[in-house]
Amino acid sequence: MQGTSAKTPTAAGEAAAPERPLVKLDAGVMQREGAAAAPQVEPIIELERVSVRYDGKPAVRNVTFDVGSNLITALIGPSGCGKSTLLRCLNRMNDLIPGAVVEGKIRYHGQDIYDPEVDPVELRKLIGMVFQKPNPFPKSIYDNVAYGPRVTGMKGNLDEIVERALRRAALWDEVKDRLKDNAYSLSGGQQQRLCIARCLAVEPEVILMDEPCSALDPISTARIEDLMVELKERYSIVIVTHNMQQAARVSDMTAFLTVESDEHGVRAGELIEFGPTERIFTNPADPRTEAYVTGKMG
Ligand SMILES: Nc1ncnc2c1ncn2[C@@H]1O[C@H](COP(=O)(O)OP(=O)(O)OP(=O)(O)O)[C@@H](O)[C@H]1O
Ligand SMILES: [Mg+2]
Protein backbone atom coordinates (compact mmCIF):
# COMPACT_ATOMS: atom_id res chain seq x y z
CA MET A 1 0.00 0.00 0.00
CA GLN A 2 1.17 3.48 -0.69
CA GLY A 3 0.45 6.40 1.51
CA THR A 4 2.31 6.05 4.77
CA SER A 5 5.38 7.88 3.51
CA ALA A 6 3.33 10.99 2.82
CA LYS A 7 2.88 11.63 6.51
CA THR A 8 5.54 13.45 8.46
CA PRO A 9 4.77 13.06 12.12
CA THR A 10 5.44 16.26 14.02
CA ALA A 11 6.62 16.39 17.61
CA ALA A 12 4.05 16.29 20.34
CA GLY A 13 3.29 19.82 21.43
CA GLU A 14 0.91 21.13 18.81
CA ALA A 15 -1.42 23.91 19.82
CA ALA A 16 -4.97 23.02 20.76
CA ALA A 17 -7.57 23.68 18.06
CA PRO A 18 -8.86 27.26 18.22
CA GLU A 19 -12.60 27.88 18.06
CA ARG A 20 -13.59 28.49 14.45
CA PRO A 21 -16.13 31.20 13.74
CA LEU A 22 -19.25 30.40 11.76
CA VAL A 23 -19.65 32.02 8.35
CA LYS A 24 -22.94 32.49 6.55
CA LEU A 25 -23.84 30.67 3.33
CA ASP A 26 -26.26 32.03 0.71
CA ALA A 27 -29.14 29.89 1.90
CA GLY A 28 -28.73 31.15 5.43
CA VAL A 29 -27.05 27.93 6.53
CA MET A 30 -24.17 28.51 8.92
CA GLN A 31 -20.85 26.95 7.99
CA ARG A 32 -17.61 26.72 9.88
CA GLU A 33 -14.88 28.94 8.42
CA GLY A 34 -12.38 26.93 6.43
CA ALA A 35 -14.97 24.39 5.32
CA ALA A 36 -16.26 26.35 2.33
CA ALA A 37 -13.52 25.91 -0.25
CA ALA A 38 -13.77 22.84 -2.47
CA PRO A 39 -10.65 23.20 -4.59
CA GLN A 40 -9.65 20.88 -7.40
CA VAL A 41 -7.83 18.16 -5.51
CA GLU A 42 -6.45 14.73 -6.15
CA PRO A 43 -8.88 12.00 -5.22
CA ILE A 44 -7.56 9.79 -2.44
CA ILE A 45 -10.36 7.22 -2.78
CA GLU A 46 -12.32 6.62 -5.98
CA LEU A 47 -15.59 4.71 -5.97
CA GLU A 48 -16.66 3.36 -9.37
CA ARG A 49 -20.05 1.69 -9.81
CA VAL A 50 -19.99 0.32 -6.28
CA SER A 51 -22.87 -2.00 -5.38
CA VAL A 52 -23.35 -3.91 -2.14
CA ARG A 53 -25.63 -6.85 -1.40
CA TYR A 54 -26.44 -8.53 1.90
CA ASP A 55 -27.35 -12.19 1.40
CA GLY A 56 -28.10 -11.42 -2.25
CA LYS A 57 -30.39 -8.49 -1.42
CA PRO A 58 -29.18 -5.18 -2.93
CA ALA A 59 -28.46 -2.43 -0.39
CA VAL A 60 -26.46 0.02 -2.53
CA ARG A 61 -26.40 0.24 -6.33
CA ASN A 62 -23.88 1.72 -8.78
CA VAL A 63 -22.38 4.46 -6.69
CA THR A 64 -19.58 6.51 -8.28
CA PHE A 65 -17.78 9.46 -6.67
CA ASP A 66 -14.34 10.53 -5.48
CA VAL A 67 -13.17 11.27 -1.96
CA GLY A 68 -10.79 14.24 -2.21
CA SER A 69 -7.52 14.54 -0.29
CA ASN A 70 -7.68 16.81 2.74
CA LEU A 71 -11.36 17.44 2.29
CA ILE A 72 -14.38 16.52 4.38
CA THR A 73 -16.86 14.51 2.34
CA ALA A 74 -20.35 14.12 3.83
CA LEU A 75 -22.68 11.22 3.03
CA ILE A 76 -26.30 12.23 3.59
CA GLY A 77 -29.68 10.68 2.88
CA PRO A 78 -32.65 9.04 4.58
CA SER A 79 -32.35 6.07 6.91
CA GLY A 80 -31.61 2.83 5.06
CA CYS A 81 -30.16 4.44 1.91
CA GLY A 82 -26.81 2.75 2.50
CA LYS A 83 -24.60 5.42 4.03
CA SER A 84 -23.07 3.15 6.67
CA THR A 85 -22.81 0.33 4.15
CA LEU A 86 -20.84 2.53 1.75
CA LEU A 87 -18.64 3.90 4.50
CA ARG A 88 -17.75 0.38 5.65
CA CYS A 89 -16.77 -0.53 2.08
CA LEU A 90 -14.05 2.12 2.12
CA ASN A 91 -11.86 0.24 4.60
CA ARG A 92 -13.27 -3.23 3.98
CA MET A 93 -15.18 -3.40 7.25
CA ASN A 94 -17.95 -5.14 5.28
CA ASP A 95 -15.56 -8.11 5.02
CA LEU A 96 -16.51 -8.74 8.64
CA ILE A 97 -20.27 -8.99 7.87
CA PRO A 98 -21.26 -12.49 6.70
CA GLY A 99 -23.26 -12.34 3.47
CA ALA A 100 -22.01 -8.89 2.45
CA VAL A 101 -20.74 -8.75 -1.15
CA VAL A 102 -19.17 -5.65 -2.69
CA GLU A 103 -19.08 -5.16 -6.47
CA GLY A 104 -17.50 -2.40 -8.56
CA LYS A 105 -14.16 -0.77 -7.89
CA ILE A 106 -12.81 1.15 -4.92
CA ARG A 107 -9.34 2.56 -5.44
CA TYR A 108 -7.14 4.05 -2.74
CA HIS A 109 -4.20 5.95 -4.22
CA GLY A 110 -5.18 4.23 -7.45
CA GLN A 111 -4.94 0.72 -6.01
CA ASP A 112 -7.95 -1.59 -5.92
CA ILE A 113 -8.54 -2.16 -2.19
CA TYR A 114 -10.31 -5.48 -2.90
CA ASP A 115 -7.23 -6.79 -4.71
CA PRO A 116 -6.11 -10.07 -3.07
CA GLU A 117 -2.70 -8.47 -2.42
CA VAL A 118 -4.21 -5.88 -0.11
CA ASP A 119 -4.16 -6.81 3.58
CA PRO A 120 -7.39 -5.43 5.09
CA VAL A 121 -5.72 -5.04 8.49
CA GLU A 122 -3.02 -2.83 6.94
CA LEU A 123 -5.68 -0.95 4.99
CA ARG A 124 -7.64 -0.19 8.17
CA LYS A 125 -4.53 1.38 9.71
CA LEU A 126 -4.46 3.87 6.84
CA ILE A 127 -8.23 4.27 6.65
CA GLY A 128 -9.52 4.37 10.23
CA MET A 129 -13.10 4.38 11.50
CA VAL A 130 -14.85 6.29 14.30
CA PHE A 131 -18.28 4.97 15.24
CA GLN A 132 -21.57 6.54 16.21
CA LYS A 133 -21.40 5.51 19.85
CA PRO A 134 -18.09 6.20 21.58
CA ASN A 135 -16.55 2.76 22.10
CA PRO A 136 -13.41 3.09 24.24
CA PHE A 137 -11.83 -0.12 25.51
CA PRO A 138 -12.25 -0.83 29.25
CA LYS A 139 -8.69 0.33 29.82
CA SER A 140 -6.94 3.51 30.88
CA ILE A 141 -7.03 6.65 28.73
CA TYR A 142 -3.35 6.09 27.95
CA ASP A 143 -3.77 2.43 27.05
CA ASN A 144 -6.67 3.19 24.73
CA VAL A 145 -4.50 5.48 22.63
CA ALA A 146 -1.40 3.29 22.96
CA TYR A 147 -3.33 0.17 21.89
CA GLY A 148 -2.94 0.58 18.11
CA PRO A 149 0.72 1.63 18.19
CA ARG A 150 1.47 -1.33 20.50
CA VAL A 151 -0.26 -4.02 18.47
CA THR A 152 1.14 -2.71 15.20
CA GLY A 153 4.64 -2.38 16.68
CA MET A 154 4.92 1.29 15.76
CA LYS A 155 8.38 2.73 16.20
CA GLY A 156 8.98 5.77 18.39
CA ASN A 157 8.48 6.89 21.94
CA LEU A 158 5.05 5.66 23.06
CA ASP A 159 4.48 8.56 25.48
CA GLU A 160 5.08 11.01 22.64
CA ILE A 161 2.82 9.09 20.27
CA VAL A 162 0.01 9.10 22.85
CA GLU A 163 0.47 12.80 23.62
CA ARG A 164 0.53 13.74 19.95
CA ALA A 165 -2.68 11.82 19.21
CA LEU A 166 -4.46 13.29 22.24
CA ARG A 167 -3.37 16.81 21.24
CA ARG A 168 -4.59 16.32 17.69
CA ALA A 169 -7.91 15.10 19.05
CA ALA A 170 -8.11 18.27 21.21
CA LEU A 171 -8.28 16.19 24.40
CA TRP A 172 -4.78 16.48 25.86
CA ASP A 173 -5.41 19.44 28.17
CA GLU A 174 -8.42 17.72 29.71
CA VAL A 175 -6.72 14.37 30.38
CA LYS A 176 -2.98 14.99 30.73
CA ASP A 177 -3.17 14.70 34.54
CA ARG A 178 -5.34 11.57 34.54
CA LEU A 179 -3.92 9.36 31.81
CA LYS A 180 -4.13 6.30 34.10
CA ASP A 181 -7.86 6.78 34.77
CA ASN A 182 -10.28 4.41 33.12
CA ALA A 183 -11.61 5.72 29.80
CA TYR A 184 -15.17 5.16 31.04
CA SER A 185 -14.63 7.96 33.58
CA LEU A 186 -14.66 10.48 30.69
CA SER A 187 -17.81 12.25 29.47
CA GLY A 188 -19.46 11.05 26.24
CA GLY A 189 -17.92 13.87 24.22
CA GLN A 190 -14.49 13.21 25.73
CA GLN A 191 -14.86 9.48 25.03
CA GLN A 192 -15.59 10.27 21.38
CA ARG A 193 -12.48 12.48 21.15
CA LEU A 194 -10.55 9.63 22.82
CA CYS A 195 -11.80 7.30 20.08
CA ILE A 196 -10.63 9.84 17.49
CA ALA A 197 -7.24 9.97 19.27
CA ARG A 198 -7.08 6.16 19.22
CA CYS A 199 -7.73 6.26 15.48
CA LEU A 200 -5.11 9.02 14.91
CA ALA A 201 -2.42 7.24 16.96
CA VAL A 202 -1.63 4.79 14.17
CA GLU A 203 -1.15 7.67 11.69
CA PRO A 204 -4.00 7.04 9.27
CA GLU A 205 -4.55 9.07 6.09
CA VAL A 206 -8.31 8.82 5.95
CA ILE A 207 -10.82 8.91 8.83
CA LEU A 208 -14.29 7.46 8.33
CA MET A 209 -16.90 8.73 10.80
CA ASP A 210 -20.38 7.25 11.06
CA GLU A 211 -22.64 9.78 12.78
CA PRO A 212 -19.88 10.62 15.27
CA CYS A 213 -21.91 13.29 17.08
CA SER A 214 -25.35 11.74 17.26
CA ALA A 215 -24.85 10.61 20.87
CA LEU A 216 -23.37 13.97 21.95
CA ASP A 217 -24.70 17.23 23.38
CA PRO A 218 -24.47 20.44 21.28
CA ILE A 219 -21.26 21.68 22.93
CA SER A 220 -19.44 18.36 22.44
CA THR A 221 -20.79 18.28 18.89
CA ALA A 222 -19.39 21.74 18.17
CA ARG A 223 -16.00 20.65 19.53
CA ILE A 224 -15.93 17.61 17.26
CA GLU A 225 -17.00 19.72 14.28
CA ASP A 226 -14.20 22.20 14.96
CA LEU A 227 -11.83 19.29 15.37
CA MET A 228 -12.84 17.81 12.00
CA VAL A 229 -12.09 21.07 10.22
CA GLU A 230 -8.70 21.17 12.00
CA LEU A 231 -7.95 17.56 11.13
CA LYS A 232 -8.55 17.91 7.41
CA GLU A 233 -5.28 19.78 7.10
CA ARG A 234 -3.62 16.43 7.72
CA TYR A 235 -6.29 13.84 6.98
CA SER A 236 -9.10 13.19 4.54
CA ILE A 237 -12.44 12.68 6.28
CA VAL A 238 -15.65 10.97 5.21
CA ILE A 239 -18.56 11.59 7.55
CA VAL A 240 -22.06 10.14 7.64
CA THR A 241 -24.52 12.52 9.24
CA HIS A 242 -28.27 12.93 9.64
CA ASN A 243 -27.74 16.50 10.70
CA MET A 244 -28.10 18.77 7.66
CA GLN A 245 -26.66 21.76 9.49
CA GLN A 246 -23.65 19.68 10.42
CA ALA A 247 -23.08 18.55 6.82
CA ALA A 248 -23.40 22.17 5.67
CA ARG A 249 -21.15 23.51 8.43
CA VAL A 250 -18.21 21.15 8.13
CA SER A 251 -18.10 19.39 4.78
CA ASP A 252 -16.53 20.47 1.51
CA MET A 253 -18.22 17.86 -0.68
CA THR A 254 -21.57 16.15 -0.21
CA ALA A 255 -22.96 12.91 -1.60
CA PHE A 256 -26.75 12.57 -1.39
CA LEU A 257 -28.27 9.07 -1.58
CA THR A 258 -31.83 7.79 -1.49
CA VAL A 259 -33.52 4.42 -1.92
CA GLU A 260 -34.72 4.00 -5.52
CA SER A 261 -36.38 1.19 -7.47
CA ASP A 262 -34.66 -0.24 -10.54
CA GLU A 263 -36.52 -1.35 -13.70
CA HIS A 264 -37.51 -4.58 -11.90
CA GLY A 265 -38.82 -2.74 -8.88
CA VAL A 266 -35.84 -3.80 -6.74
CA ARG A 267 -35.10 -1.14 -4.18
CA ALA A 268 -31.58 -0.08 -3.14
CA GLY A 269 -29.64 3.04 -2.22
CA GLU A 270 -28.46 5.11 -5.18
CA LEU A 271 -26.35 8.25 -5.42
CA ILE A 272 -28.59 11.08 -6.56
CA GLU A 273 -26.13 13.92 -6.52
CA PHE A 274 -22.52 14.62 -5.58
CA GLY A 275 -20.83 18.01 -5.54
CA PRO A 276 -19.46 20.88 -3.49
CA THR A 277 -21.50 21.16 -0.29
CA GLU A 278 -22.36 24.79 -0.88
CA ARG A 279 -23.90 23.98 -4.24
CA ILE A 280 -25.74 20.88 -2.99
CA PHE A 281 -27.33 22.97 -0.24
CA THR A 282 -28.00 26.17 -2.16
CA ASN A 283 -28.51 25.09 -5.77
CA PRO A 284 -29.10 21.32 -6.02
CA ALA A 285 -29.54 19.90 -9.51
CA ASP A 286 -32.08 17.23 -8.53
CA PRO A 287 -35.48 17.96 -6.92
CA ARG A 288 -35.00 14.98 -4.58
CA THR A 289 -31.83 16.59 -3.21
CA GLU A 290 -33.66 19.85 -2.73
CA ALA A 291 -36.54 18.13 -0.94
CA TYR A 292 -34.10 16.41 1.41
CA VAL A 293 -31.84 19.32 2.24
CA THR A 294 -34.80 21.60 2.86
CA GLY A 295 -36.36 19.01 5.17
CA LYS A 296 -39.32 18.13 2.94
CA MET A 297 -38.24 14.48 2.67
CA GLY A 298 -36.58 11.86 4.82
N1 LIG B 1 -25.50 -6.39 8.39
C2 LIG B 1 -26.54 -6.29 7.54
N3 LIG B 1 -27.18 -7.39 7.11
C4 LIG B 1 -28.24 -7.30 6.25
N5 LIG B 1 -28.71 -6.13 5.76
C6 LIG B 1 -28.09 -5.00 6.16
C7 LIG B 1 -26.99 -5.02 7.06
N8 LIG B 1 -26.60 -3.75 7.27
C9 LIG B 1 -27.41 -2.98 6.52
N10 LIG B 1 -28.32 -3.72 5.86
C11 LIG B 1 -29.36 -3.22 4.94
O12 LIG B 1 -28.75 -2.41 3.96
C13 LIG B 1 -29.51 -1.25 3.71
C14 LIG B 1 -28.66 -0.02 3.99
O15 LIG B 1 -28.39 0.02 5.39
P16 LIG B 1 -27.38 1.06 6.04
O17 LIG B 1 -27.24 0.70 7.47
O18 LIG B 1 -26.14 1.13 5.24
O19 LIG B 1 -28.20 2.42 5.86
P20 LIG B 1 -27.92 3.86 6.47
O21 LIG B 1 -28.11 4.84 5.34
O22 LIG B 1 -26.65 3.88 7.20
O23 LIG B 1 -29.16 4.03 7.46
P24 LIG B 1 -29.24 4.83 8.87
O25 LIG B 1 -29.32 6.27 8.48
O26 LIG B 1 -30.50 4.33 9.49
O27 LIG B 1 -28.02 4.50 9.68
C28 LIG B 1 -30.74 -1.35 4.60
O29 LIG B 1 -31.79 -1.88 3.83
C30 LIG B 1 -30.32 -2.31 5.68
O31 LIG B 1 -31.42 -3.04 6.17
MG1 LIG C 1 -26.13 4.17 9.19
Say which CATH number the domain at 170 has: 3.40.50.300
Edge-to-edge, what's the strand order for the sheet holding 43-54? 111-112, 100-108, 43-54, 57-68, 267-276, 253-261, 72-76, 236-240, 206-210, 127-130
- Residues within 6 Å of ligand 1 by CB: 54, 59, 79-85, 97, 269
User: What is the C-alpha to C-alpha distance for residues 177 and 197, in angstroms, rounded to an integer?
Assistant: 16
Q: Whole domain around residue 210: which residue ranges?
A: 42-293
Predicted pLDDT of residue 295: 86
| Chain mean position to CA 223 | 16
Is 154 domain-assigned?
yes
pLDDT at 298: 61
Q: Which atom of ligand 1 is nearest to the CA of 55?
A: 4
Distance, CA 289 to ligand 1 centroid (Å)?
20
- Residues 176/216, Cβ–Cβ less than 8 Å: no
Q: How far is Cα of residue 229 from the mean position of the Cα atoms in its chain?
A: 12
SS3 content of the chain, % helix, strand, coil (to 5): 35, 25, 40
- Tally of structural domains, the chain: 1
Residue 13 resides in a domain: no
Ligand 1 pocket: which of 85, 95, 258 to mutate (most atoms within 8 A of CB): 85
Low-confidence ranges of the chain (pLDDT < 70): 1-40, 298
Q: How far apart are CA 1 and CA 118, in angstroms?
A: 7
Amino acid 20: pLDDT: 44
For strands 72-76 and 100-108, give the pairing: unpaired
Tell me the CB-side half-sphere exposure of residue 279, using CA atoms within 13 A: 11
Task: Please report which ligand is nearest the Cα atom of 97.
Answer: 1
User: Is 53 contained in some domain?
Assistant: yes
Work out which ligand 1 atom sits closest to the CA atom of 242.
Answer: 25
Which pLDDT does position 39 carry in this prediction? 52
pLDDT of residue 235: 95
Among protein residues, the one with the nearest Cα to ligand 1's atom 11 is 59
**Cα(218) to centroid of ligand 2, in Å?**
20
Encode pLDDT of 57-102 as tens digits.
999 999 999 999 999 999 999 999 999 999 999 999 999 999 999 9
CA 79 – ligand 1 centroid, Å: 8
What is d(CA 224, CA 201) in angstroms, rounded to the nearest whole number?
17
Nearest ligand to the C-alpha atom of residue 81: 1
| Protein residue with its CA nearest to atom 24 in ligand 1 | 79
State which of 52, 76, 84 you would mutate to test the pocket of ligand 1, scoring each by most atoms of that ligand within 8 A of its C-beta. Answer: 84
Query: Does 35 fall in a domain?
Result: no
Cβ neighbours of 291 (radius 10 Å): 14
Long-range contacts of 9-13 (CB under 8 A, 24+ apart): 9/156, 9/164, 9/203, 10/164, 11/160, 11/164, 12/160, 12/161, 12/163, 12/164, 12/167, 13/163, 13/167
What spacing in Å lies between the alpha carbon of 269 and ligand 1's midpoint? 10
Smallest CA-to-CA distance from 7 within 204, 195, 157, 170 is with 204
Nearest CA to ligand 1 atom 30: 80
What local confidence, expressed as pLDDT, does residue 40 receive?
64
Task: Kindly state whether residue 18 falls inside one of the protein's structural domains.
Answer: no
Q: Can you tell me the distance from the alpha carbon of 84 to that of 76, in angstroms, rounded to the nearest whole number?
A: 10
pLDDT of residue 141: 98
The residues, any chain, with a CB within 8 Å of residue 146's CB and separated by 6 or more, are: 158, 161, 162, 201
Which one of 51, 53, 54 would you pick to mutate in the ligand 1 pocket, going by the greatest count of ligand atoms within 8 A of its CB? 54
Q: Whose Cα sits closest to atom 14 in ligand 1? A: 82
Which pLDDT score is estimated for 250?
96
Query: From the CA of 53, which ligand is nearest?
Result: 1
| Cα 14 from Cα 12, distance rounded (Å) | 6
Domain assignment of residue 103, yes or no: yes
Is residue 86 included in any domain, yes or no? yes
Nearest-CA residue for ligand 1 atom 2 is 54
> Which residues crowd ion ligand 2, with CB under 5 Å?
84
